[in-house]
Amino acid sequence: MKIIVHDLQQQEFAGWVDDPNAELTVLSDNDTIRQCMGCFGCWTKTPGVCVIKDGYQNIGELLSKCDELIIISKCMYGSYSPFILNVLNRSISYMLPYFVTKNGETHHRNRYDHQFALSVHFYGHDITEAEMGTARTLVAANSMNLYSIGNKVYFHNSLQNVKEAVL
Amino acid sequence: MKIAMINGSPKPVKSNSALMLKTLDPLISTGNELTYYNINKRPLTIEQYCELCRMDTLIIAFPLYVDGIPSHLFRMLVALEEFMRVEREQEIYVYTIINNGFFEGRQNHIALEIMRNWCTRCGLHFGQGLGQGAGEMMGFLEKVPLGQGPLKNLGKAMESLAHNIHSRSMDESMLFSPNFPRFAWRFSATHSFWNATAKKNGLKKKDMLKRL
Ligand SMILES: Cc1cc2nc3c(=O)[nH]c(=O)nc-3n(C[C@H](O)[C@H](O)[C@H](O)COP(=O)(O)O)c2cc1C
């Protein structure tokens, strides 16, 4: 399955893909997502599932069935935009709480024997060099923690360019 | 000086970020007016955003989330940038205290860069950032005097931070781990934290490993 997580308005994204089906899941912002409250319940209460039941509790499980994760985000200060961050914050049940040491640094053990390819399309009309550098480092760190098969980072100065690159 | 003490943890109670602010408070309170802000339960009000634009200094304490900034804090920063563009009249210095779950405090370097980029966009001065590793240990060390035992690095960093806040200086950021062996941290985090919490919730080890 392919997953697209994007922060575009419904009308901006309309017509980009056919209706969602078994092969494609689209996560977008309809103003109902709640913030992670740092309780670790997705590890120690209901392992694998977030305790906040707002429709976004199953992101960890979704990722375990994903072969290709595509993130489309406005680049803000070298970070993802709030909705994308919110989705990522709510997805840590994809990992286990337990630790491994990789290259001398601590990371989490994986819950699933599964890997997906990760690509991130940042858009914005005035992204600075410094912000691009930060964003690349951020995606590489995420890729490491999510055990993704590599990571690709793109910067676009218009939504039209994002659309052409993603489709 | 008017100093805002902003807690960027989303936890409803007992955050490590709050402990960081509490540790810093006595080192900077003399002669300054400190005002605390929480965004864990509800977003800031328009009045509070405007107040922040009239501060001399912002201290932002927050946990590292997915190698970056927690989403609710990020929403606040995005909104604050708009307010700063319109409302700000004086020079504002920003200092951040990040804490992360993994042992190595250096893993906070990306969040620090994002804060720096945010300051640039807002026209604020980025003063200094601290990054404490093994953050969830902080609650267990409340009785340990600052600057001693596992809190030795934190003590030095807090002194440097307090000095820089007082003198409105910019300085090298400091990312560090507790003065405590990593294997011992890892052992107690695994058993006394994850497994003990799960057990309290009636779960067994195999439940924790569940695949869906
Ligand atoms: C959703 C989520 C994501 C996290 N991501 C990271 C991470 O990428 N790296 C890390 O070292 N710790 C991570 N942590 C651990 C927190 O940074 C750590 O628990 C911190 O001590 C919490 O601070 P607080 O009590 O001030 O909220 C994460 C925790 C949560 C809940």
CB A103 within 8 A of CB A94: no
pLDDT of residue A37: 97
pLDDT confidence bin for B183, thresholds 50/70/90: very high
Domain-located, residue B191? no
Domain-located, residue B192? no
Q: What tokens does B1 get?
A: 């000086």
Out of B11, B77, B118, the one facing A38 most closely (by C-beta) is B11
In chain A, residues with a C-beta closer than 8 Å to the C-beta of B197 are 40, 44
Domain-located, residue B92? yes
Domain-located, residue B147? yes
**Most A-contacting residue of B73, B80, B110, B205 (CB-CB within 10 A), to test interface:** B110
Q: Report which protein residue has its CA nearest ligand 1's atom 22.
A: B63
pLDDT at A134 > cutoff 80:
yes
DSSP designation for A120: E
Identify any residues that bridge with A154 across adjacent strands, giving them in sequence order. A121
Domain-located, residue B210? no
Q: What is the mean pLDDT of residues A45-67?
A: 97
Pocket test for ligand 1, best of B13, B66, B108 (most atoms within 8 A of CB): B66
Between CA A67 and CA A148 the distance in angstroms is 9
- The residue of chain B nearest to residue A137, with distances taken between CA atoms, is B110
Question: Measured in Å, how far apart are chain A's first and last C-alpha atoms?
Answer: 15
* Residue written as token pair 């601290």: B130
CB within 8 Å: A85 and B70: yes
Task: DSSP for A102-119, please give it.
Answer: ETTEEEEEESSS---EEE
| CATH number of the domain residue B105 falls in | 3.40.50.360
pLDDT confidence bin for A19, thresholds 50/70/90: confident
Q: Which residues line ligand 1 (CB under 6 A)?
A: A 36, 38, 89, 92; B 9, 11, 15-17, 63-67, 99-102, 107, 135-136
B119-143 tens-digit pLDDT = 999 999 999 999 999 999 999 999 9
DSSP designation for B92: -
Q: Report which protein residue has its CA nearest ligand 1's atom 27.
A: B9
Exposed e or buried b for every residue in B53-71, given b needs 16+ CB within 10 A? bebbbbbbbbbbbbbbbbb
pLDDT of residue A167: 85
- The residue of chain B nearest to residue A59, with distances taken between CA atoms, is B212
CB A48 within 8 A of CB A91: no
Distance of CA B62 from the midpoint of ligand 1 (Å) = 9
Query: What's the number of domains chain B is made of?
Result: 1
- The residue of chain A nearest to residue B195, with distances taken between CA atoms, is A44
Nearest CA among B168, B73, B92 for reference residue A38? B73
CB within 8 Å: B117 and A77: yes
Domain extent at residue B130: 2-180
B50-107 tens-digit pLDDT = 999 999 999 999 999 999 999 999 999 999 999 999 999 999 999 999 999 999 999 9
Pocket test for ligand 1, best of B100, B109, B176, B186 (most atoms within 8 A of CB): B100
Domain-located, residue B75? yes
| Predicted TM-score of the model (pTM) | 0.98
pLDDT of residue A21: 78
- C-alpha dihedral over B120, B123, B126, B132, to 10 degrees? -70
For the domain spanning A2-166, the CATH number is 3.40.50.360
B167-to-A17, A119, B31, B61, B170 alpha-carbon distances in Å: 55, 44, 13, 20, 9
Out of A43, A89, A107, the one facing B65 most closely (by C-beta) is A89
B143-170 tens-digit pLDDT = 999 999 999 999 999 999 999 999 999 9
Closest atom of ligand 1 relative to the B135 alpha carbon:
21
Pocket test for ligand 1, best of A40, A91, A92 (most atoms within 8 A of CB): A92
- Where in chain A are the domains? 2-166
Longest dimension (CA), chain A: 46
Domain-located, residue B188? no
Domain-located, residue B169? yes
pLDDT of residue A62: 97
